[in-house]
Structure 1
Amino acid sequence: MNIMDVCSFSVLFEEISCGQNNNISPSSKCLPLQSCDSNITAHLASNHIATTSITSEHDLIKARVGLFNDTASDLIICPNHRFLLGKGWRSSRLCMARDPLQHCSKRHKVSSATLSVSQSQQIWQKYGILIPVGAGFCRQCRGRLTVKLQTDICNVDNTLTQAIHEPTHSICTMTKEKGLSQSTVDTDHSQGSLWMPNSQNSYTSTDTACTDNTDFISEKRKYLDSFLASCGLSPVKKQMRGDWTTSSDRTRNDYLKKAKQILQQVAEVPVPGQGDYLLNEISCLNSSATCSTTSEKMLEVLCTAYNQTTDWV
């Protein structure tokens, strides 16, 4: 039997031809899509796709063809479609945005953050165009994408804000009663909807069980991970337990690298597509303040030395 007569993706995704592929095993046999369970960790990492948003090879393939919420239990896939839609898919080095989201000449290099599952799904539902998970946008088009999807984000933020300010409810109570779990603000919404609990409103009740600082840090980390997932970045995998000043250079470099990723994405929220400029301005302000403080201390030391000197010979 011709392999094209069996593969469901010969119709679902005609851009790729059915056939064999020696880069994957089995190389010449069609399989049920649900049985595709190869390790995709390296592929997700290289394409900056959050491991919390896609957990299996068949889910990755489904997302790449727009079957986000479909169980696809009866689909059959050939080796070529499996490889080129899964682990063998490669992002272009140039911006992959398409009309009406494209605002560049297609010659701009992509930024480090890629299209998340939620963003790909929203674009598919809102504009009817399929841009694959892991696709790279240039900074300009990524900023425009944030603005385009801002309406949906604002609706989510308003819902969460109303829930936060309901009287006599602590953050823990709301989490149980309103279902404000990580999945609520994780992959259903796009970049920019970072919500944090207000300490004054959330921790004034004497009945709450969340007064412990560890619980508060855990809450903050959960919502930060949700934000990172919406940006197509991996979550915070570890938190420092020891002293920064006594940590090794390698350890500090790991935390610095992750912190830089986080700050870059946060800066894109108030100034879409121009986050780097904002971070540079903040860095300059901090440098100026440090320089001014150092100069004042140096002047104070010199004055003290001058006043205490009795012999200049």
Structure 2
Amino acid sequence: MSQASLSQATAPAGQQEIPARRRTRLGLRYGRRLQLIGFAFVLPTLLFFAAFKFGPMLWAVELSFTSFDMVSTPDWVGLENYERLAEDPVFRASLVNTFVYIAGSTVLIALVGLGLALAINTSVPGARACMAVMFLTNLMPIIAVTLVWRFLLHPFGLVNQLLAPFGVGRMDWLTDEDLAMPAIIAVTAWRFAPYFMVVYLAGLLAIPRDYYEAAEIDGAGAIRRFLHITLPLLMPTIFFVVVVSALLSSRIFLMPYIMTGGGPGDATRVLSMLIYETGFSYMKMGEAAAISVVLFAIMLVFTVLQMRIFMRNERGLA
């Protein structure tokens, strides 16, 4: 009798070794049980996204190929909605306004947020208290923000009164075609830049101080330290801010809708407003779905291009 058989025969009944095949089978059962338990925990979230996010998205894509007025049965029209959009001057103007708004608000939010983070990151007394005060703008309801700024930007509002001592005449911020969009972009940056300031500040605090100390020993000034240390190491954070702020700006609705109503003319009408007006004012849900698909495709292409540019820059820095 071998040593293993002898030890198994002499061991108590409750302590005898389990055969290898049975151990493997028990391990598979236990692992499968853990997978089922994990899937059970995730299943409610998957069902929620399937029912309230991905399902409506797929339905909107299907609806964009139909003519639907929310009363009768949808009629399949193929690419007719997209062809009509290509010939619609209102859609083209809204598309241009959307690009202008995304570009302007994204650049301004990224620059203002970075500037505020650099200012807060100094050792000036009271800097953290100022950060807390500035972050309160991000906690205010968007409706309250837009209503307050609508009164502030009135021709006889506080903004014009503050500019009057500097020789600036009365400005029609929300009724001038050349000023309405820049005014909305400035309010957007005022609303969202403090949030991204906190994101920038987290990225700045993650940079080791040893890099700056070594650069100071080598005689590098503040500008060179920013260009050669802060900016390269902060590129992942900058990429995150640009992508998130662009996505946020692409679906903005309440701010231009309340402040200008899309006017004057079509100067501030963006695609999100056009989707609402086409679907619920003119009862053309097929065309509204087509506009939403176009907006989704634009942001998808924009995000993919930004990711490719970022990955290329990362490989270049490596």
Q: TM-score range by the shorter chain?
A: under 0.3
TM-score between the two structures when normalised by the length of structure 2: 0.24
In terms of Rg, which structure is larger?
Answer: 2
Instruction: Report the structure, 1 or 2, having the larger helix content.
Output: 2
Which gives a bigger RCO, structure 1 or 2 (Cα 8 Å, sep 6+)?
A: 2
